[in-house]
Chains A and B, each alone.
Chain A
């Protein structure tokens, strides 16, 4: 054991030694990476594809819905009539702030500050709840304005995309609250900071997905959405795949 610690000190400096205690619970893998963290990154990479397909469908269907609106066809409100940019900007701000509190929670446990960990994790979960409350309000308002899940293809793709993102946020909130409870029971030691780091990766991913959704769904106008999908088609043709 002494030899192992000495080797670690030589390789990483004394500051990294607390992390080495993780190996008591999780032995080193053949890759040299933490298997749980590797799994989380693989999951996040696959989730990129999941959200990529949902975003693509939204962009295509939104264009169709707007075209039908201009042609005097179709049912229900269309994006430019119903999306509330200032309101969603506040939601985006709340989620960005939750990323800050999440990273501060990780920094706290790495310093052995358990009170700070619980405060910042609680703040992150609270901001997540505020975001979800905002989404619930937005969905309810849309419904009262006549936009249900099956009203038109815009509403269909919009609710599926933002709903799945909301489901991710909800899972993240449950995860964060679980960590707070475990910490309160004394089950989250400083040398188990990786548990918080993995939850943090998931939470930050939810934030970056919202960064993309906020821009593509809310800010980019219909005409430009059409231009983007046409551009994608041209790009594929250019590389011989279209």
Chain B
């Protein structure tokens, strides 16, 4: 028990939580952002001006960060959880980029191979 007490200040005791009202406000924000995402999809200007992808990327990034920060408590939790998750995200991004590059630079027509069964 003495060891327990000695290590206590560094231990994981959860985190400070927000009020229910704040969680509901965050949910409303997420719903509004989703509605905006869908709305801009139907606005031709976003398609023709080339701003659709940047706009959708920003909006979904805001949703993503909001959920992990407040609902998953990464904003107030031990930073080591954050480092672990961000490492996973970085590796996932590299995997996406590497697969995209692999499929394109090797000029393999996977579609044709799929159809012909080759």
Complex CA gap A229/B88 in Å reads: 20
Docked-complex contact A194 and B88, CB < 8 angstroms: no
Given A45-B85, A197-B14; A3-B2 close (CB under 8 Å): yes
Complex CA gap A93/B14 in Å reads: 28
Docked-complex contact A100 and B100, CB < 8 angstroms: no
Other-chain contact of A51, B4, B81, B92 (Cβ < 8 Å): B92
Q: Interface stretch among A26-34, A133-141, A167-175, A177-185?
A: A26-34
Size of the B side of the interface (Cβ < 8 Å), in residues, is 66
B93-109 interface (Cβ within 8 A of A): 93, 95-101, 103-105, 109
Docked-complex contact A211 and B67, CB < 8 angstroms: yes
Given A32-B11, A208-B68, A233-B100; A228-B110 close (CB under 8 Å): no
Docked-complex contact B30 and A41, CB < 8 angstroms: no
Which residue on A lies nearest to B34, using beta carbons? A92
Question: Which residues of B have CB within 8 Å of A119?
Answer: none
Size of the A side of the interface (Cβ < 8 Å), in residues, is 89
Question: Which residues of B have CB within 8 Å of A45?
Answer: 84-85, 87-89, 91
Question: Which residues of B have CB within 8 Å of A193?
Answer: 14
Complex CA gap A33/B91 in Å reads: 23
Docked-complex contact A33 and B5, CB < 8 angstroms: no
Complex CA gap A48/B93 in Å reads: 9
Question: Which residues of B have CB within 8 Å of A27?
Answer: 4
Which residue on B lies nearest to A89, using beta carbons? B38
Q: Is B64 an interface residue (CB 8 A)?
A: yes
Docked-complex contact A153 and B8, CB < 8 angstroms: no
Question: Which residues of A have CB within 8 Å of B87?
Answer: 45
Which residue on B lies nearest to A74, using beta carbons? B115
**B85 → chain A closest CB, angstroms:** 5
| Chain A CB within 10 Å, residue with most, of B5, B8, B105 | B8
